[in-house]
Structure 1
C-alpha cells in the first residue's frame, strides 16, 4: 500500500513542516509493516511538498495509524494534505533492478472486495 499526501506549505512554514514530516516518518517507520517513506519538496514549486510512505498492506497502514503518538502527531499532519485527490493507493507494480513485481488488485470491479490473494508475479523490464 502506498500513502501519497501532497501539501501546500508557504516558505516561512517550511522548517516547521519539515520537522513535522520528520516526526511522522519516524513514527510511521517504526510501525510493523511499514517499508519506509520519504518527504520532499517540488523542484518546480518549492511551496509544494509530498509525503509518501509504503506499507505491506492496507491492514498494516491502518494499524500504523492507531497508536496514540501517531494519532497525536501524524494524523493532524495528514489532515492538512491537499484533498483534491486520493491519498491511499494499492501497489500494483514495483520495479527494482530491472525486474518488475506485479501484484493482483485487491479491489473487485465494484471496489468493495478482495480479488485473489495479492501474490506477486514477476515480469522483466525492457525488451527480450
Structure 2
C-alpha cells in the first residue's frame, strides 16, 4: 500500500519544511509495517512537495497514524497536505 501526501509550500519555507517532512518520515518509519519512505520537491514547480510511504497494508498505515508520537509529531504536518485522496494499492 502506498500513501502519498502532497503539500504546497512557499519557497522561503522550503528548507524548514524539508526538515519537517524528514521528521515525519522518521516517526512513521518506526511503525510496524513501514517498508520505505521518500521526501521530494517537485522539479517543475518547486513549491510542491511530496511525502511518499510504502506499507505492508492499509491497517499498518492507519495504526501508525494513531500512535501517540504520530499524533503529536506527524499529524500536525500531515494536516497541511493538499486535500486529495492519497492511499493507493
- Higher fraction of helix: 2
* DSSP 3-state at the match of 1:59: helix
Partner of residue 5, structure 2:
5
CA distance in structure 2 between the aligned counterparts of 1:71 and 1:63, rounded to whole angstroms: 11
Partner of residue 104, structure 1:
none
- Name structure 2 gaps, 5 residues minimum: none
Q: What stretches of structure 1 move > 2 A for 4+ residues in a row? A: none
Larger Rg: 1
- Name structure 1 gaps, 5 residues minimum: 91-128
CA distance in structure 2 between the aligned counterparts of 1:17 and 1:30, rounded to whole angstroms: 20
Cα-to-partner distance string for 1:91-110 (whole Å, 9 max, x where unaligned): xxxxxxxxxxxxxxxxxxxx
TM-score if structure 2 supplies the norm length?
A: 0.94
- Structure 1 residue 67 displacement after superposition: 1.6
More relative contact order, 1 or 2 (CA 8 Å, 6+ apart): 2
Partner of residue 113, structure 1:
none
* DSSP 3-state at the match of 1:86: coil
What does residue range 32-71 of structure 1 map to in structure 2 within 5 Å? 32-71=32-71
TM-score if structure 1 supplies the norm length?
A: 0.67
Cα-to-partner distance string for 1:11-40 (whole Å, 9 max, x where unaligned): 111111111101111110111100010010
CA distance in structure 2 between the aligned counterparts of 1:60 and 1:69, rounded to whole angstroms: 15
Q: Number of residues paired by the alignment?
A: 89
Partner of residue 79, structure 1:
79
RMSD of Structure 2 on Structure 1 (CA): 0.9
